[in-house]
Chain A
């Protein structure tokens, strides 16, 4: 419970600061939020007892705490990276208090969702996650595209919630309980329960943007401010995957043969479609949107077969993915804030003017592509190992082919930055310390997580007992 309480306290403090600062010193909002959230993240790592609360509606375990901590780290990076955008986009940091408040609210929702022990808590957590995100997407009120993104997000989220609720109500009808523990001991064999599974899976797949439920993704990412897109593509996606794992392993554990098949095919089409579309993108935000869809397609390789090792591999992969994706988005955001340029061909010759940004971008993209020695390689390798040990060689084969295809389009960006020449390259960008710090954390994460075997061991020891 501590994570949630800490977050609520942080959110309230931010509101108080927002109210008590005058119009002229709103800029102190940013350091306040960064310090506050660093504290929250740090406290999250302190040891804590695990167990159940409220008659089983609320669970914590080592694994759940690990998931929450990963999300915390991700949000911390997002908050640090947002500083430049807040400065650039709003006069006098007008909206920054609100922005931080909303982002933390959404995180509270995620934490409750991951910790939930019954569908009621789960649904409340889910809505608390989604509605603030829609507000975030629309936060640049004066921009049409931002509002459009918000509307698109809220509409598709409402639809997916509806489907999810339908699934939950069918489950309730067949079992008479909303508790995960009682549902998981039920041997699901009626076709009604199968239908319920499909509905619940669809609802969650919307959040992860697995194909064919991905259609909102690119439009929303493109319209929303870059930092919100990075929040959406990393944190929100990771939390949805966490809850998907929990649901599959508890509630639907008796349907394992069904969800293995479902995951198999969603994995194949998600990575293939994501890759094929990513290849054609010129806008960097859309590009990263499709790349993140393709990345999500690799996750089922760890879940499939339902092994302990697979879950550790997924969490490890997601942790790395958060760092790599935020690194790439961080660079896009720094460039977009300074020059307003978001197209791939405008990145031509970037290395000559902004070598550091280009290097961070290259490392992040290589990590996403799974090139050693950066961490993405290890994440992907373990996912593939998890699936191969279960005997899914064909799936692994399709996945590695897709990883090669994805390398192609990541290299296109590298080519633009390092090889192509440009008559009017992006000018030298002087980044503020927040942007630098945000990118530095990402780079450190990308480099260290792979080599430090101890991190994987820690994840593996924590991800027991689901």
Chain B
């Protein structure tokens, strides 16, 4: 399959959106475009699996190269392995449901969908890039529409949140850029070949350890900020809580995964020596993320803040698992990215739907929603169960794999941080069950507007798609886990060689 289609479809959708005359047209075009994208992604997964089962053991499949800046050896090279395929599928699901969840956006609707699709183009481009240059380009392309999306359509202290988020992420990308340029400079240590940005080519090169020590922290922090690495996570709660529903979904569901993916694909893969040496620093930071995020979620009273902090905790787990440098934990990391992406999208979608009915997100002001909107409430409980790792849902598969993998490091340090991180499961249960008990159970409060209805069709489609994905991943995790595991080989081999 031609991967460039994954960029082309959103671009064509954008072009079509520009011609939209009414809200109905705009949202139909957006839904059609992202729907086609979803079909394409499912198709990609199928052809990928078929190709693998027919015995193709190339590291990257469907590779392609387009000349861009010839003299600089910059190509737009694309290709996917199991990790990127699964993340592309996640992105397509979240984008499609995100469009459906913003069915009722009526203020500057055209601009809203355009920004949303630009964002998703950035994410798709990021995941199919095999080239540091285009990867960085798409990374920034995905971040910048957030400013407008939060600033214009957000709520609360949106201007502050939008500026904070954009500047922190762009600042991170600035640090990242220095790291990437460093890798580029050392991509041909002997000077025998031209310098290159191509990840696969750089992976065959030994970058001097002294250089790695400088650039690993830059790359890891640069991507890590997007993955809510402590202490650079502060953009995330403010950003999520001010963003409109679909943007929170995409942001927590997909954008934060770019951080984890970048850390895995660039920092760990290309700079393995420094990764082994310095992992302990970042393991400590991510452990703090995990526990601090969970405790943060306990004390919050705003539903979006609760889930934003919970995202900090869960995304911390992704980075934590990546740093464990073994195959099982890394497999868990990718599974956790997908699982968290799906369930956090579901959470934010539900919060948006509940908010549009109750006009408050403060859990102290809501009670007994189960009686008023049973469908949404049940969905919320399912999302909550997925989040606290109930077997049968996606969270269990991911977290279990991570902790099993992490515990395989036999030294005291790794074991103790693993135990510490595992304790977050308990804390997660506390804040999830607290919210469920507080807002869903009990008698309906008097402050609900009269005639509040349960979910309408587009909301049902959103939640059902996401729940099917979550449950599907929980019940049939094997093919996904296999697909990812088979692609982790090159990365873990490089890391294991050095131990």
Q: Which residues of A contact B (CB under 8 A)?
A: 309, 366, 371-373, 377, 381-382, 384-385, 388-389, 391, 393, 396-397, 400-401, 403-404, 407-408, 411, 414-415, 418-419, 453, 456-457, 460
Contact yes or no, A460 B71, CB < 8 A: yes
| Shortest Cβ distance from residue A49 to the other chain B in the assembled complex, whole angstroms | 25
Contact yes or no, A453 B184, CB < 8 A: no
* CA gap between A381 and B178 in the complex, in Å: 10
Contact yes or no, B74 A453, CB < 8 A: yes
25 contacts between A and B (CB under 8 A): A309-B72, A371-B144, A372-B138, A372-B141, A373-B137, A377-B137, A381-B133, A384-B177, A384-B181, A385-B181, A385-B184, A391-B185, A393-B181, A400-B177, A401-B174, A411-B166, A414-B148, A418-B148, A418-B151, A419-B152, A419-B158, A419-B159, A419-B162, A453-B69, A456-B72
Contact with A along B189-224 (1 / 0, CB 8 A): 000000100000000000000000010000000000
Residues of B contacting A456 with CB < 8 Å? 69, 71-72
B140 at interface by CB-CB < 8 Å: yes
Contact yes or no, B174 A415, CB < 8 A: no
* CA gap between A397 and B144 in the complex, in Å: 21
Residues of A contacting B35 with CB < 8 Å? none
B170 at interface by CB-CB < 8 Å: yes
B284 at interface by CB-CB < 8 Å: no
Contact yes or no, B71 A400, CB < 8 A: no
| Shortest Cβ distance from residue A66 to the other chain B in the assembled complex, whole angstroms | 15
Residues of B contacting A418 with CB < 8 Å? 148, 151-152
Which secondary structure dominates where chain A touches chain B? helix
B68 at interface by CB-CB < 8 Å: yes
Contact yes or no, A408 B163, CB < 8 A: yes
Contact yes or no, B140 A372, CB < 8 A: yes
Residues of A contacting B166 with CB < 8 Å? 407, 411
Chain B residue with minimal CB distance to A389? B185
Contact yes or no, A457 B71, CB < 8 A: yes
Contact yes or no, B163 A411, CB < 8 A: yes
Q: Which of B159, B167, B181, B195 contacts A404 (CB 8 A)?
A: B167
Q: Most chain-A Cβ atoms within 10 A of its Cβ — which of B144, B167, B177?
A: B177
| Shortest Cβ distance from residue B141 to the other chain A in the assembled complex, whole angstroms | 5
Q: Which of B140, B175, B178 contacts A388 (CB 8 A)?
A: B178
Contact yes or no, A400 B174, CB < 8 A: yes
Chain B residue with minimal CB distance to A397? B178
B295 at interface by CB-CB < 8 Å: no
| Shortest Cβ distance from residue A98 to the other chain B in the assembled complex, whole angstroms | 42
Contact yes or no, A457 B70, CB < 8 A: yes
B147 at interface by CB-CB < 8 Å: yes
| Shortest Cβ distance from residue B20 to the other chain A in the assembled complex, whole angstroms | 14
* CA gap between A309 and B195 in the complex, in Å: 13
Q: Which residues of B contact A (CB under 8 A)?
A: 67-72, 74, 133, 137-138, 140-141, 144, 147-148, 151-152, 158-159, 162-163, 166-167, 170-171, 174-175, 177-178, 181-182, 184-185, 195, 214
* CA gap between A373 and B145 in the complex, in Å: 12
Contact yes or no, A407 B184, CB < 8 A: no
Known: A366-B144, A388-B185, A407-B166. A400 touches B69 (CB 8 A): no
Residues of A contacting B138 with CB < 8 Å? 372
Residues of B contacting A381 with CB < 8 Å? 133, 177
Residues of A contacting B178 with CB < 8 Å? 388, 393, 396-397, 400
Q: Most chain-B Cβ atoms within 10 A of its Cβ — which of A384, A407, A418, A419?
A: A419
Q: Which of A366, A385, A391, A419 contacts B72 (CB 8 A)?
A: A385
Contact yes or no, B147 A404, CB < 8 A: no
Known: A393-B214, A408-B163, A411-B147. A388 touches B71 (CB 8 A): no
| Shortest Cβ distance from residue A314 to the other chain B in the assembled complex, whole angstroms | 15
| Shortest Cβ distance from residue A220 to the other chain B in the assembled complex, whole angstroms | 31
Known: A384-B177, A404-B171, A404-B174. A457 touches B151 (CB 8 A): no
* CA gap between A391 and B211 in the complex, in Å: 11
Contact yes or no, B163 A377, CB < 8 A: no
Residues of A contacting B167 with CB < 8 Å? 404, 407-408
Known: A453-B74, A456-B71. A373 touches B141 (CB 8 A): yes
Which secondary structure dominates where chain B touches chain A? helix
Residues of A contacting B185 with CB < 8 Å? 388-389, 391
Known: A404-B167, A408-B167. A415 touches B177 (CB 8 A): no
Contact yes or no, B147 A414, CB < 8 A: yes
Residues of A contacting B214 with CB < 8 Å? 393
Chain B residue with minimal CB distance to A366? B144
* CA gap between A372 and B163 in the complex, in Å: 18
Q: Which of A371, A411, A414, A453 contacts B140 (CB 8 A)?
A: A371
* CA gap between A2 and B174 in the complex, in Å: 44
Residues of B contacting A415 with CB < 8 Å? 151, 159, 163
* CA gap between A407 and B167 in the complex, in Å: 8
Contact yes or no, A389 B71, CB < 8 A: no
* CA gap between A418 and B148 in the complex, in Å: 8
Known: A372-B137, A385-B181, A393-B214. A453 touches B159 (CB 8 A): no
| Shortest Cβ distance from residue A222 to the other chain B in the assembled complex, whole angstroms | 26
Known: A418-B151, A460-B71. 9 other contacts (CB 8 A): A309-B72, A372-B138, A385-B181, A391-B185, A396-B178, A401-B171, A411-B166, A418-B148, A453-B74
Q: Which of A384, A400, A419 contacts B151 (CB 8 A)?
A: A419
| Shortest Cβ distance from residue A268 to the other chain B in the assembled complex, whole angstroms | 15
Residues of B contacting A366 with CB < 8 Å? 144
* CA gap between A58 and B65 in the complex, in Å: 44
Residues of A contacting B71 with CB < 8 Å? 456-457, 460
* CA gap between A387 and B261 in the complex, in Å: 28
Q: Most chain-A Cβ atoms within 10 A of its Cβ — which of B68, B71, B152, B181?
A: B181
Chain A residue with minimal CB distance to B195? A389
* CA gap between A286 and B70 in the complex, in Å: 39
Chain B residue with minimal CB distance to A419? B151
Residues of B contacting A393 with CB < 8 Å? 178, 181-182, 214
* CA gap between A73 and B422 in the complex, in Å: 63
Contact yes or no, B69 A457, CB < 8 A: yes
Contact yes or no, A388 B69, CB < 8 A: no
Residues of A contacting B69 with CB < 8 Å? 453, 456-457
* CA gap between A366 and B171 in the complex, in Å: 15
Q: Most chain-B Cβ atoms within 10 A of its Cβ — which of A366, A382, A388, A403?
A: A388
* CA gap between A371 and B142 in the complex, in Å: 11
* CA gap between A381 and B74 in the complex, in Å: 12
Q: Considering the complex of A and B, which 8 residue pairs feature the smallest CB-CB distances, nearest first?
A: A400-B174, A388-B181, A419-B151, A453-B69, A372-B137, A453-B68, A404-B171, A404-B174
Chain B residue with minimal CB distance to A460? B71
| Shortest Cβ distance from residue B129 to the other chain A in the assembled complex, whole angstroms | 12
* CA gap between A381 and B174 in the complex, in Å: 11
Q: Most chain-B Cβ atoms within 10 A of its Cβ — which of A366, A377, A393, A401?
A: A393
* CA gap between A320 and B178 in the complex, in Å: 22
| Shortest Cβ distance from residue A366 to the other chain B in the assembled complex, whole angstroms | 7
Chain A residue with minimal CB distance to B142? A372
Residues of A contacting B148 with CB < 8 Å? 414, 418-419
* CA gap between A401 and B167 in the complex, in Å: 10
* CA gap between A151 and B171 in the complex, in Å: 41
| Shortest Cβ distance from residue B21 to the other chain A in the assembled complex, whole angstroms | 15
Residues of A contacting B140 with CB < 8 Å? 371-372, 377
Contact yes or no, B182 A388, CB < 8 A: yes
Residues of B contacting A401 with CB < 8 Å? 171, 174
Residues of A contacting B133 with CB < 8 Å? 381
* CA gap between A408 and B141 in the complex, in Å: 16
Residues of B contacting A400 with CB < 8 Å? 174-175, 177-178
* CA gap between A306 and B68 in the complex, in Å: 25
* CA gap between A181 and B404 in the complex, in Å: 72
* CA gap between A377 and B174 in the complex, in Å: 12
* CA gap between A448 and B137 in the complex, in Å: 16
Residues of B contacting A382 with CB < 8 Å? 72
Residues of B contacting A460 with CB < 8 Å? 71
